Amino acid sequence: MRGSIPADDIMSSVHETYRDNTDLEYRTLSGGGRSMTVLYLKSLCDSKKITHSLIAPFFEMGASGSFAGYLWSLPGVTQPFGSEQAVGQVLKGFTVILLEERIYLYEAAYAATSGISDASVESIVQGPADAFNEDIDVNINMVRRRYESERLKVETGSVGRTSRTKIALIYDTQRVDPKILQELKARLGRIDVDLIQSAAQLQKQLNTQSIQLFPELMVTERPDRVVQNLACGRIGVLVNTTGFALILPSVFDDFFTSMDDVYQFRIVGQFLKIIRYIGLFLTLTLPAFYIAFTSYNPEILKDQLTLLIAGSRASVPYPSFVEVLFMLLMMEFLIEASLRLPKAVGPTATTVGGLILGQAATEAGLVGNIMVIIVSAVAISNFVIPITMMNFSIRVLKYGFIFLASIFGLVGIVLGFIALVMYLSNLESFGQPYLRISVKLPWKDVIPLGRK
């Protein structure tokens, strides 16, 4: 050892730092009157490499001096100056070895590059492109490589009586809110189902309300989003056999934040977020406004616009809300078909189907020209919402506004907005108000998600 600190103290210090992590491998090997202690994080190291290069030769070689010489001959073997360096190197995939009162560091990092594909659900223009895969150890590796801190803690467990699906809680021990962590563990302990096969299933089990429209937890496939939220004191939940993770607590604004907002200049990110909120407003209200203006309150519009809408509906034989429901349901069918069809034919089939359906319906006099424009705008604006779970919720919610507009006109839309704000105001995500701009943080120097 090159430093003055005894090797035993260095090993004890490293063990003390990581002892609460369930991916810690710490064992003492004995044979032939010799002993060797190894310590490493399984999620960061290649276990096969350690077995072939360290453990097997230890038992095959008779004398300690021979094994020590062999150890030094391995590439990547060093001796730490002190416990702090050893603690830091463990996070880089090094194995700490205690042999005959000497301590060594052996590089055995596991680079999980195979089987990792690009993000397909949350694509961004700039920034990392990789996504989680279905191996939880690989996913932990991807998070640890991005968050090299000894404060990062991993706790594993299982959920589901039959499936016994492995899950991992990841959080920063200094930044996490202990109350939220305790509440999460309590809810996990209360889960009493046979099967958990996806992060979305686990999310449903963690929700507190029996009837829920908006998600309390964020489901993401992006490791950089998980890491960004860990730095904000939130908790990541990785689920084995699925390429998605949960982030909690999550508030309403988080579901309109893309990772592009983090990588872009702040003013650009804020502009993009405003665009998404405008898209939210349009997808919620455009069909409802169309019904209100054509059936109840045409006097609010200018005369020219009122005549234009009336002219487009001259041949339509039924009320405006039937026209809206007909077109929106056709759009829902196209979206569902595009999700189920093979990728090679899905976009072509839905594009051709949409164009033919819209043109044919207009020429047949079943819907007006303006209705086709509105349906297209609703479909496009709905897809600007970056998180899929919120996207689906908004798709359902717009039918509530259509129902209210069909009965009360503009008054119904206003009442719908008041009810929506009241409902959102009463929601919480693990104790955090849902309409809070960002999750309340117990520390000062953390950059909230979406800010540079």
Element (H, E) at 103: strand 102-107
**Residue 291: strand pairing partners:** none
In degrees and rounded to multiples of 5, residue 28 shows phi and psi of: -110, 125
For the residues of 202-244, what is the DSSP string, one character each?
HHHHH-S-SS-SS-SSEEE--HHHHHHHHTTT-EEEEETTSS-
Give 3-state DSSP helix, strand, coil % of the chain, rounded to 5. 50, 15, 35
Global model pTM greater than 0.75: yes
191's tokens: 């889960």
Q: What pLDDT score does 100 carry?
A: 81
**Residue 158: strand pairing partners:** 166
Cα angle at 244 between 206 and 281, to 5 degrees? 75
345's tokens: 């034919």
Question: How confident is the prediction along the chain (452 residues), in pLDDT tens digits per residue?
Answer: 444 678 888 888 999 988 888 888 998 988 777 888 999 998 888 888 888 888 888 888 766 677 888 888 888 788 888 888 888 888 888 999 988 888 899 988 876 655 778 888 888 888 888 899 888 888 998 999 899 888 999 998 889 888 888 899 999 999 999 999 999 999 999 998 899 989 989 998 998 877 788 998 999 999 999 999 999 999 999 998 889 999 999 999 999 988 888 888 889 988 999 999 999 999 999 999 999 988 888 888 888 888 888 888 888 888 888 988 988 888 888 888 877 777 766 667 677 677 777 777 777 778 888 888 888 888 888 888 888 889 899 999 999 999 999 999 899 999 999 999 999 999 988 888 888 765 555 444 444 444 44
Determine the Cα–Cα distance for residues 280 and 286; give it in Å rounded to an integer.
10
Determine the Cα–Cα distance for residues 397 and 417; give it in Å rounded to an integer.
11
Determine the Cα–Cα distance for residues 281 and 276; give it in Å rounded to an integer.
9
Pair 8, 140: CB distance under 8 Å? no
Q: What pLDDT score does 71 carry?
A: 84
Pair 110, 93: CB distance under 8 Å? yes
CA torsion, points 35, 41, 47, 52, in degrees to nearest 10? -30
From the number of C-beta atoms within 10 Å of its C-beta (0-12, 13-18, 19+), residue 425 rates as exposed
Determine the Cα–Cα distance for residues 149 and 92; give it in Å rounded to an integer.
10
Q: What pLDDT score does 143 carry?
A: 93
From the number of C-beta atoms within 10 Å of its C-beta (0-12, 13-18, 19+), residue 352 rates as exposed
Q: What pLDDT score does 1 carry?
A: 44
Pair 219, 244: CB distance under 8 Å? yes
Pair 140, 156: CB distance under 8 Å? no
Q: What pLDDT score does 47 carry?
A: 87
149's tokens: 């801190």
363's tokens: 């020429």
Q: What pLDDT score does 114 carry?
A: 57
